[in-house]
Structure formats: structure tokens, C-alpha cells
Amino acid sequence: MKKTFLMTAALALLMAGGAAAADLKFKPGEDSKFNWQSFEDFKKGHDLKGQTLTIFGPWRGEDEALFKIVYAYFTEATGVEIKYSSSENYEQQIVIDTQAGSPPDVAILPQPGLIADLASKGYLSPLGDETQKWLLDNYAAGQSWVDLSTYKGKDGNAALFAFPYKIDVKSLVWYVPENFEDAGYEVPKTMEDLKALTEQIVADGGTPWCIGLGSGGATGWPATDWVEDLMLRTATPETYDKWVTNQIPFTDAAVTGALDEFGWFAKNDKFVDGGAAAVASTDFRDSPKGLFASPPKCYLHHQASFIPSFFPEGTVVGEDADFFYMPPYASKPELGNPVLGAGTLAMITKDTPAARAFIEFLKTPIAHEVWMAQTSFLTPYKSANPEAYANAPMKKQGEILLNSTTFRFDGSDLMPGKIGAGAFWTGMIDFVGGKSAADVAAGVQKSWDAIK
């Protein structure tokens, strides 16, 4: 998501030392949901006593605490001392550190565009063919992860420079199970069913959708997630890749087709709470509240996994509110089960034995299961035990990743900032305000041409 847009510029450096065995949250050997054999096998093959590993990442606060719990097992297995640091403006800090010749051993970042820039300047070390094959064999939709992790190096040749770790899912539709039960509605399995449900709710006298694009200076971004999800369900992933790099123009029929699909939902007064005019003016944080009104102001809400933060206090996900996978079109079986999302990728910025060992550690089930058993962590790793997830909603989102046939990163985050966090956002406001898909697409393309 566009979290970077919302971040302030203040700098804070957070350091932490290694952990002793006594600090391990889950005792090795106990609780069969963990693959302790993978921990023991890794431990036998890696002795890094006396060495230090520096890691720079985006995680602060709760996520930093959770990551420390994970890397305590790496410390326990190897004897290495870990120093982790982060910054509120980590995107600038990692550029400064690499340019100054004082990078960390490992950098973990959520921005493929920034990773591509670092790789092109020679600041990243290739992870090798073995890691590429590992991703193909062990991550669901493996080719998607290889594609996401492959960038051109300083020599212009493409290589695998990153390892995806900790993924977010965006292809979710939220609803209130009690409302569905009262009305006799079923969770749709196809996009055709979702459209039919939308029309059925109107025929029954209700309003199907709550949609809000308001987000202060970032107003419009929720619509870009809609369009990206629909693009993956109406066009091939290769077309999606060409779109986000402007190898096909924004005015391509595949793009305007996805815009019009979003318009089918958002530009019909009967389909949206408050009518189409309310879509642009409703804050995205307030938009799901209609699900919980009595009688409900809407029955469906498209948003990523973070949205329960804005549900009424005390709402229990899985009971009071639930979600389903944004379904594909039955008429386009060749596109499989695409998933839109985001996530973080680990890279070697200083090639040391400890850095290489850390990447190998990320290939162990235990490196995933320890975080799965807490919160805020999803993985497409097929050998990580789904039973390790801390709760049913996390497990359900993890299953969406495991069942995916294609994964694509948030498209607007892959576009140049002036497009993905500028012209695309404002174009979507114009679109729900009445402009045609063709006119909006032409305007975004004009902005893209201006920065070439």
C-alpha cells in the first residue's frame, strides 16, 4: 500500500543485540505445529560464532518486536550477533548508506522500485540460481516470486537479487456473515456470481457496496487497488507487467477495460451506499462502517487485510466480520486465481557468510512458522505448516496465497511516483466523478509521457 506516502521524515535509529536461548518465545522441540527438525538441521550446518550480522529493515514498533523474536532463532542456531536498525524514512536511509559505502549486511525493503534502483547501481549481490530454483519449487505461484525478485544489475543483466519474506494480501472482499445469513446470500465463487449478488441485493431493496476513496492527500488510492485486482482478472499477468512499466500505454484496451469493470461497481447509484457521488468524498477509513449498521447500509467492501483496524471496536474477524477472496471470472479460466498484494524482500547489501546464512535461514519452515504463530505475517511457502497461524483469519489469508496461481505486487507502487501516487489517484477521482475510462486513461498517459 501507499504507506510510504503517509510517513513522516523524522529519523530514528533502533539497535538491538542478539538473543539468548532463554529468550526464545517457543521452546525448540515443543509444540508439534512447528517444524523443529528444520531448525535443528539448519543449526548443524551453520556456525557463525564471533561474527556480527547487521540488518536494516522497515519494521518498527510491534513488527520490529516480532522480527526480533524470529531472528532470535537464527542467533540461537548460529551464535551470530545481530544488530537490527530501522528508520522512519528508511527509503532514503538505505540509499545514503549504500552510496556512502557503509551498507548493512542485509536490507529488507517493501519497494520493488527502490530495489531495482539499488540493483542497477551495483549495491546488491545476486542470490544465485539455487535460490531462484528454491522459490520456483517452494513458493506457491513460484514464477511470480522469481519475477518479483529479479532485477537488472549494474552490468545490465537480470539476476535474482531478492528473497520475498512476509507478504500482504489485498484481494479481499469483506462482509458481515450475520447479514448474509439473514438475507440468504452465499459467498460468490466467481466474478459473475459477485455481479449477480450485487444485482440481487438491489432487487431485494438493499445496497450492495460501501466504497470510499477519501484519504487526504492520497485520495483515490483505494480505487487503484480495485483496478489492479480487476486487471489481473481480465488480462494476463504479462499484460499487467507491461502496464505498470508503460510498455503498453494507459490507454490500452486492457487498462480501460479494467477501469470500466470498476465503474460497473462504483458508478451505479444503486450499487453504492450514498450513490456514486459519495465514492470520492467518503474517507476509506469510514467506508466499511456501513457493513455494521442496522439495517446494513451495505453488504460488501473491497479492501486489504489491514481494514479491520477501522471496524467498530470489539469486532471479531471471523465472527462479526469475515472476508472472501476476490473471485476470478469463470469466463476466463486461463487466468487462474490471481492475487494482488504487497510485501517485503530481503537482499544482501554486503556479501558476508552471515548474510548468506541469513538468506538460507529464510528458506527454513521455522523462520516462517515462528512469525505465523503471532500476527501480521503471511507466507506462500508450501512447507510452512498452515496450522502454525495464530488464528483462523490469518490461516484463511495464507490459504489464498497458497491457492494462488499468480501473485502481482501493487501496480501503483511499481509505477513512477508521479503516476502511481499522483496521476492514477486523481484520475480515479475524475473517473468516479463522471469522466469516461478513455478520457481518464488519456490524462494519465499524458502525465506519464511528460516525465519520460
Sheet holding 172-175, edge to edge: 301-302, 172-175, 322-325
- In the numeric block, which cell numbers belong to residue 306? 489491514
Half-sphere exposure of 95 (CA within 13 A, CB side): 11
Please give the biggest Cα pair distance in the chain: 70
Instruction: Classify burial at 203, counting beta carbons within 10 Å of its beta carbon; exposed 0-12, middle 13-18, buried 19 or more.
Output: exposed
pLDDT tens across the length of the chain (452 residues): 443 333 333 333 333 333 445 479 999 999 999 999 999 999 999 999 999 999 999 999 999 999 999 999 999 999 999 999 999 888 899 999 999 999 999 999 999 999 999 999 999 999 999 999 999 999 999 999 999 999 999 999 999 999 999 999 999 999 999 999 999 999 999 999 999 999 999 999 999 999 999 999 999 999 999 999 999 999 999 999 999 999 999 999 999 999 999 999 999 999 999 999 999 999 999 999 999 999 999 999 999 999 999 999 999 999 999 999 999 999 999 999 999 999 999 999 999 999 999 999 999 999 999 999 999 899 999 999 999 999 999 999 999 999 999 999 999 999 999 999 999 999 999 999 999 999 999 999 999 999 99
- pTM for the predicted model, two decimal places: 0.92
Q: Is 16 left (phi over 0), alpha (psi -120 to 50) or beta?
A: beta
Residues in Cβ contact with 216 at an 8 Å cutoff, skipping those fewer than 6 apart: none
Distance from chain centroid for Cα 332: 24
Q: What is residue 88's predicted lDDT score, i.e. its pLDDT?
A: 87
Residues in Cβ contact with 167 at an 8 Å cutoff, skipping those fewer than 6 apart: 341, 342, 343, 378, 379, 380, 401, 407
- In the numeric block, which cell numbers belong to residue 186? 452465499
Q: What is residue 46's predicted lDDT score, i.e. its pLDDT?
A: 97
Q: What is the 3-state secondary structure (H, E, C) of 200-245?
A: HHHHCCCCCECCCCECHHHCCHHHHHHHHHHHHHHCCHHHHHHHHC
Please state the φ and ψ torsions of residue 79, each to the nearest 5 degrees.
85, 5
Residue type, 289: K
Q: What is residue 51's predicted lDDT score, i.e. its pLDDT?
A: 98
Q: What is residue 7's predicted lDDT score, i.e. its pLDDT?
A: 34
Q: What is residue 425's predicted lDDT score, i.e. its pLDDT?
A: 96
DSSP lists the bridge partners of residue 185 as: none
Measured N-to-C along each axis, helices 112-120 and 90-99 cross at an angle, to the nearest 10 degrees, of 10
